[in-house]
Chains A and B, each alone.
Chain A
Amino acid sequence: MSPASATPVSLDGLLLESADADFAVTGFHRVHSASVERIGDVARAYDEGAYLLEMITCEDRREDLKAMRLVYTFNRFAGDLDRHVVTVDLSGEIPGAEAPSINGVYPAANWFEREIYDMYGVTFSGHPNLKRILLPDDADFHALLRDFGRMEDAES
């Protein structure tokens, strides 16, 4: 598919919430949120629109949301810049929340999902190779969880 054939994405019925964002302030054009079950469909819709997956990351927001939140950003090469962010709230144990993998749609997701598994302990169902990526294989912690490795917790 050539980038010139990029079309606007049709996300009807896939999102929980959707809003325009001020690009000059936030760096995003649209801010969406989706349910964890529909993220595969959302990714497929972006793929059909010839968008690329810029990154996936995760936030440990248990203090205000009592949950983990996945953050996907999509962008496109062709036409004007159009950066969308899709947030997905996860429920469940921390660590150990689950989400479906979008590796089948975007191969780029492979390493991003492995990194989130490594750093936050979120498991991605359907991922072909879900193992630690940055930390050693025998590590017994998830490094970016809020309650791990805080400087103020160190014994002085």
Chain B
Amino acid sequence: MDPVRLPLPVVDAAPVVPAVAKPFVHFAVLDDLLNAARANSLWPLTFGLACCAIEMMAVGASKYDLDRFGAGVFRPSARQADVMIFAGTISRKMGPVIKQLWDQMPSPKWSIAMGGCTIDGGPFKYPNQYAIYEGADHLVPVDVYIPGCPPRPEALIAGILRLQEKIKKGEKGDARP
């Protein structure tokens, strides 16, 4: 009996993967399977910074129920989490802590910038400000940006679905410099 031939995924087509991160051996079907598993069992870190954290809690609670998308298991420890949702303003004092938490998370890992503050400083950005980092991407690589102040729960769900698509395609968040 002939073996079933599956089409190989075009790995080189992913533009965000730099040359050094190309896998030496391709496990095409296995990679797809692993990515599908990863995408559907995202464990976010229990970590709120400000207002957006309340909407993040609302997404995890009864009405919006993030468990439907396999992303409702909020982990208290960075060592067990694989997606970090930046939910709120990143102050200058908090920046180093976030960097450390991100470094503590095991790969593969992804991040979502939730709300205006983590995109560019949001409502707290003004010329000559001293208090905040103007965007989470000053500290760590970001996979999905969700606008809003705070974004509605539906927007966060859309962001998580977008991240799942990305993971299924094999785009790795932490591969970028």
Contacts and interface: CB of A to CB of B under 8 A. Distances in A.
Contacts of A150: 128
Contacts, number: 21
Main secondary structure of the interface of A (DSSP, over half): loop
Contacts of B93: 134-136
Interface secondary structure of B, over-half rule: loop
A131 to B, nearest CB: 13
Given A135-B92, A135-B93, A136-B92, A141 B128 contact: no
A69 B91 CA distance: 28
A95 to B, nearest CB: 15
Interface in B74-94: 92-93
A134 B129 CA distance: 15
B92 A149 contact: no
B129 to A, nearest CB: 7
A140 B141 CA distance: 28
Interface in B82-120: 92-93
B23 interface: no
Interface residues of B, number: 8
Contacts of B128: 149-151, 153-154
Contacts of A156: 127
A139 B126 CA distance: 19
A116 B127 CA distance: 24
B92 A151 contact: no
Nearest to B128: A154
A103 B7 CA distance: 74
A15 interface: no
Contacts of B126: 151
A153 B127 CA distance: 8
Interface in A118-156: 134-136, 139, 141, 143, 148-151, 153-154, 156
A64 B47 CA distance: 46
A13 B144 CA distance: 65
B130 interface: yes
A143 to B, nearest CB: 6
Interface of B: 92-93, 126-131
5 contacts: A135-B92, A136-B92, A136-B93, A148-B130, A149-B128
Given A150-B128, A156-B127, 15 more contacts: A134-B93, A136-B92, A136-B93, A139-B92, A141-B130, A143-B130, A143-B131, A148-B130, A149-B128, A149-B130, A151-B126, A151-B127, A153-B128, A154-B127, A154-B128
